[in-house]
């Protein structure tokens, strides 16, 4: 089965893509993200990038 709707947050460190957060739904219109949720997802992505940068 293929996803009809998806969201993708790339994880980029030093201008190199190293991973991503991905979510999908089967039907179009099922994936709705409120502004606060979007903000939290971006924060999660940014925290992951910071943690990776601290490690190396």
- Confidence (pTM): 0.78
Cβ atoms 31, 23 nearer than 8 A: yes
In three-state secondary structure terms, 7 is: strand
Q: Which residues 6+ apart lie within 8 Å of 14 measured at CB?
A: 53
Give the domain ranges of the chain.
5-55
pLDDT in tens, the chain (56 residues): 688 999 999 999 999 999 999 999 998 888 889 999 999 999 999 999 999 999 87
Buried b (16+ CB within 10 A) or exposed e, 1-36: eeeeeeeebeeeeeeeeeeeeeeeeeeeeeeeeeee
The CA distance from 20 to 8, in Å, is 7
């Amino acid at each position: 089965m293929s996803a009809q709707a998806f969201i993708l947050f790339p994880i980029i460190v030093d201008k190199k893509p190293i991973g991503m957060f991905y979510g999908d739904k089967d039907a179009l219109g099922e994936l709705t993200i409120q502004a606060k949720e979007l903000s939290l997802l971006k924060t999660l992505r940014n925290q992951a990038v910071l943690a990776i940068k601290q490690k190396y």
